[in-house]
């Protein structure tokens, strides 16, 4: 009987913790939504955050997309060799895989780590050194000044970076097909165009925006929740903040 009670107590504690987490996150989201109305506070910070989170992340996305395109072309060739299907389907496989799944997911995961570490280090340090408290003393809303521009920057720039990754990935797959697989350019283009739909790109772009919003929001929420425990707590908070943004991408 005592074992059953212990199991039920453990389940109840887990459910309570989960519900509390959902409630805290929902309340934080509502506060951020209200803070977004204070345009004069966050608008001036938005361009700098878009450059920091978006423009400076493009080389990483381009590097990942290039090798993703090459690998997809080689794998498609390996799968289709010996099968009774035309080789121009390499282009179809590359286009579908890159635009709908690999470009948004791999780019989102890579950027979540970079952006998450950057935001967690900056905001976590500001919280520890009481700079966030100073903003409140000066009648600034910390969420309008610190949270809104970062979440908006992630939401707006991630789709652009994902679009760039799509183009680079498909171009890399084309070059690999022509140079390594002896596939004619006309055949690769035929495969890309044969089953191409605008929805493929739209789907990937929406994923990118979702990743940007989820990654930045999770990190800023965790960074602002850090308590004043001294400078020694900063590295752990930075690692936790960078990692906490990745589970939000797992359902995709």
Q: Above pLDDT 90, what percent of the chain?
A: 28
Residue that the structure tokens 């409630």 belong to: 23
Q: What is the mean pLDDT of the chain?
A: 83
Domain boundaries, the chain: 1-35, 42-249
Q: CA-to-CA distance for 198 and 239, rounded, in angstroms?
A: 38
End-to-end CA distance of the chain, in Å? Answer: 42
Write out pLDDT tens, residues 105-159. Answer: 998 888 888 888 888 888 888 888 888 888 878 878 888 888 899 999 999 999 9
Tokens of 96: 């579908």
Given a contact cutoff of 8 angstroms between Cβ atoms, the answer to whether 57 and 161 are in contact is yes
Give the residue among 218, 213, 15 at the shortest CA–CA distance from 104: 213
Please state the length of the chain. Answer: 252
Q: Name the token pair of 194.
A: 């044969």
Find the mean pLDDT for residues 76-87.
Answer: 79
Strands (E), the chain: none
41-69 tens-digit pLDDT: 888 889 999 998 888 889 999 999 999 99
pLDDT above 80 (res 6): no
Q: Dump pLDDT digits (tens) for 219-233.
A: 888 888 776 554 444
134-142 long-range Cβ contacts below 8 angstroms, 24+ apart: 140/41, 141/35, 141/38, 141/41, 142/224
pTM: 0.80
CB 165 within 8 A of CB 62: yes
SS3 assignment, position 251: coil
pLDDT at res. 237: 45
């Amino acid at each position: 009987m005592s074992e059953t009670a212990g199991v039920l107590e453990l389940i109840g504690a887990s459910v309570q913790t989960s519900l509390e987490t959902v409630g805290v996150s929902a309340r934080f989201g509502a506060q951020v939504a209200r803070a977004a109305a204070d345009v004069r506070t966050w608008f001036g910070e938005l361009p700098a955050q878009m450059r920091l989170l978006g423009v400076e992340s493009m080389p990483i996305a381009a590097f990942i997309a290039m090798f993703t395109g090459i690998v997809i072309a080689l794998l498609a060739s390996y799968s289709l060799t010996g099968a009774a299907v035309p080789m121009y389907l390499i282009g179809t496989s590359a286009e579908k895989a890159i635009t709908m799944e690999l470009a948004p997911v791999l780019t989102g995961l890579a950027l979540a780590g970079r952006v998450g570490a950057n935001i967690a280090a900056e905001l976590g340090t500001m919280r520890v050194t009481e700079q966030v408290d100073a903003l409140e003393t000066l009648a600034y809303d910390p969420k309008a000044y610190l949270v809104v521009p970062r979440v908006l920057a992630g939401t707006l720039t991630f789709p652009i970076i994902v679009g760039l990754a799509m183009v680079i990935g498909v171009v890399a797959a084309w070059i690999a097909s022509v140079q390594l697989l002896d596939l004619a350019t006309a055949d690769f283009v035929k495969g890309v165009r044969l089953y191409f739909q605008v929805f493929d790109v739209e789907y990937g772009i929406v994923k990118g925006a979702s990743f940007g919003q989820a990654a930045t929001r999770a990190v800023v929420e965790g960074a602002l929740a850090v308590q004043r425990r001294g400078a020694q707590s900063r590295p752990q908070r930075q690692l936790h903040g960078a990692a906490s943004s990745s589970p939000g991408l797992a359902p995709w």
